[in-house]
Amino acid sequence: MLELLRQSKSLLVITGAGVSAESGIATFRGAGGYWEKFKAEELASPQGFQRDPRLVWRWYHERREKIRQQAPNPAHRALAEMEKLKPDFLLVTQNVDGYHSQAGNRKMIEIHGNIWRLRCTREHKVWEVQEALQELPVRCSCGALARPDVLWFGEMYHPVLLTQARQAAHHAQVILIVGTSGMVGLTAGLLAEQQQGQVIEVNLEPSELTETADFLLQGPAGQILPRLLTGLKNREGINDDTE
Ligand code: OAD
């Protein structure tokens, strides 16, 4: 498995909430996950926003403040290093926290958007959050409500970004999936595109995607990815029985 990763020129990485778990950011599903306490359709859907924009804004505001207080972890940093080692690299993240770019990844698609960007619901103008927000819900300078520039349930993926992700999945020699439950169809859809790639999964536990994966590296991403990186750079770092 390590040899495969070493020799591959094209690497697609797909990440989910689990990659930020060791930064102290809650995942969505499982114990302590957001969807245990909150209803997704109330907080992360256009209908929920229409019904109660203040409630939705408060939730995003709290998440933003939490993300601001925490930082990328060794898993994010290892992925930023991997980008430098592979000539054909793409990271597709479902996370909106911005930690991958903070850690240094540049060849990257934030397919669910970014919590640090806001978007006018009337003019669709996009801007970045500059400072702590005072008054919620936030409005655009035109007076219309602003919303977080993230993808909500029931909304379509950006077609250009989705095509880029699909093309990468189609030709990648290795697809590394990290910290995603696979409960949202995106990752399974991308894995269905792959032609010749080998799929390596990193997760605390087997997921919906494990059957499709060729290898499961079970454990915390913040420990496994740095070891995988070391193994990529030289022949040590991870005990690889599967080579
Ligand atoms: P989930 O919360 O569904 O899944 C998190 C996954 O990370 C689980 O499989 C955990 O076992 C795993 N995990 C947790 N801690 C880990 C760690 N330290 N190391 C490795 N794995 C770990 O999150 P996503 O799959 O990202 O969408 O969820 C996908 C989408 O569903 C999200 O982007 C969000 C959500 O509803 C929207 O809001 C549109």
Q: Is the predicted pLDDT of residue 216 greater than 50, yes or no?
A: yes
Q: 141 C-alpha to center of ligand 1: Å?
A: 35
Q: How confident is the model at residue 202 (pLDDT cuts 50, 70, 90)?
A: very high
Taking alpha carbons only, the member of 237, 232, 241, 235 closest to residue 5 is 232
Please report, for residues 33, 192, 224, 227, the alpha-carbon distance to residue 79 in angstroms, rounded to integers and kept in the order given. Answer: 24, 23, 11, 11
Q: What is the pLDDT of residue 150?
A: 97
Contact 67, 115 (CB under 8 A): yes
105-124 in b/e form (b: 16+ CB < 10 A) is: beebbbbbbbbbbbbbbeee
Encoded tokens for 116: 């640090």
Contact 138, 53 (CB under 8 A): no
Q: What is the pLDDT of residue 122?
A: 96
Q: What is the pLDDT of residues 54-69, one digit of tens each?
A: 999 999 999 999 999 9
pTM for the model: 0.94
Q: 206 C-alpha to center of ligand 1: Å?
A: 12
Q: Is the predicted pLDDT of residue 123 greater than 50, yes or no?
A: yes
Q: 123 C-alpha to center of ligand 1: Å?
A: 32
Q: Is the predicted pLDDT of residue 234 greater than 60, yes or no?
A: yes
Active site residue: 61, 100, 112, 124, which one? 112
Region label for 46, one of left (φ > 0), alpha (ψ between -120 and 50) or beta (otherwise): alpha
Q: How confident is the model at residue 116 (pLDDT cuts 50, 70, 90)?
A: very high
CA pseudo-torsion sign 83, 200, 182, 197: positive
Contact 41, 153 (CB under 8 A): yes
Q: What is the mean pLDDT of the chain?
A: 92
Which residues have any ligand 1 atom within 6 Å of their CB? 16-18, 21-22, 27-30, 33, 40, 44, 94, 112, 151, 153, 179-181, 183-184, 202-205, 207, 220-221
Encoded tokens for 104: 């240094």
The amino acid present at 239, given as its one-letter code, is: N
Instruction: Please provide the size of the chain in residues.
Output: 243
The amino acid present at 11, given as its one-letter code, is: L
Q: Is 112 a catalytic site residue?
A: yes
Contact 85, 231 (CB under 8 A): no
Q: What is the pLDDT of residue 238?
A: 53
Contact 242, 3 (CB under 8 A): no
Q: What is the pLDDT of residue 235?
A: 59
Q: What is the pLDDT of residue 31?
A: 78
Cα 74 to Cα 29: distance, rounded to the nearest angstrom:
22
